[in-house]
Amino acid sequence: MLDASGRFALTTRLKKSFRVPLLSVALPVSVPIGNAQRAPDTRVENLVRAGRVRVALFPSFMYTKDPVSGELRGVVIEIARALGARLGVEVLLVEYPTPPKALESLKAGASDVTFMGLDPTRSAAVDFSLAFMQADFTYLVPAGSSIRRVLDADQLGVCIAIVRNHAMDFALRGILKHAESVYAENPDAGFDLLRTRRADVLAGIRPGLLEYATQLPGSRVLEDCYGANSIAMAVPKGQGGWFAYVSEFIEEAKASGLVERAIVRAGLRGVQAVPPGNSNARK
């Protein structure tokens, strides 16, 4: 048993033994904090100052909406949130009924960015990044249809349902010589035309058509295609800084595997990620 002087000596030695490790832990903590601070990116300083990035969406295979909770999920939702995280701002997802309405919102300054198919007819209103994913344009036909290939559908008396002013519509213009186009305002309305036999064929993007096929027994998605939908991020014309920033961001998202992982998590079929540096996966 230690006497009073022995206990004092032991206590003094213990205090000394703990002092060095405590200092050695405290010193490095402040170093990474200073290194983590980055100068603001002047290209997007107005977005950062606003504290938000407004993302215009429209019905497509690129995202889904939970019918009960209203939660939005999908590839472009993940990419939009990654962009918000990179900017350090809130992401506001704003839904519009059609692609033209989404474009109008960008031109009017009601939204900041959107995701849509690359199309020359839209280049007057927006600037596109390189594409980050691609899917075929093809047809869905009902049970008993004799149509086996895309060319088989271009016949007199055949009605093809298609979403007006969508990339699938622009790609089909100039291809059809004999069949008649029957227009719908959105993909669900187009599917309804096929389901009720007011159209013989539904044109669309392969992943969306594969999903509709599960709702129409005996229906088939054709194996060939009439074009491809290359999806990119778009910003309003005249925003050169934003364009440079999102173009850089999209290439990072491709190179890091974010796009490919998001496609897998979304369970999309008939969709492929576009490699970094490429505008299209194939010509």
Domain boundaries of the chain, sorted by first residue: 42-132+230-272, 135-227
**Position 94: which residue type?**
V
Backbone region of residue 227 per phi and psi (left: phi > 0; alpha: psi in -120 to 50; beta: other values): left
- The predicted structure's pLDDT at residue 239: 95
Q: What's the pLDDT tens digit per position in 189-241?
A: 999 999 999 999 999 999 999 999 999 999 999 999 999 999 999 999 999 99
d(CA 34, CA 43): 23
Four-CA torsion 265, 271, 272, 273, nearest 10 degrees: -60
**Fold category of 135-227 in CATH:** D-Maltodextrin-Binding Protein; domain 2 (3.40.190)
Nearest to 47 by CA among 2, 96, 83, 95: 83
Give the span between the Cα atoms of 269 and 120, in whole angstroms. 26
CA distance 283 to 279: 10
**Mean pLDDT over the full length of the chain:** 86
SS3 67: coil
Is the pLDDT at 39 greater than 70, yes or no?
no
Model confidence pLDDT, tens digit, residues 241-264: 999 999 999 999 999 999 999 999
Write out pLDDT tens, residues 141-181. Answer: 999 999 999 999 999 999 999 999 888 898 898 889 999 99
Nearest residue to 83 (alpha-carbon basis) of 245, 275, 276: 245
What is the per-residue pLDDT for 216? 97
Decide which of 278 and 215 is more confident: 215
Whether 42-132+230-272 and 135-227 share one fold: the answer is yes
Question: Does pLDDT of 22 surpass 50?
Answer: no
**CATH number, span 42-132+230-272:** 3.40.190.10
Segment 84-103 mean pLDDT: 95
Residue 15 pLDDT exceeds 80 = no
| pLDDT tens figures, 50-73 | 999 999 999 989 999 999 999 999
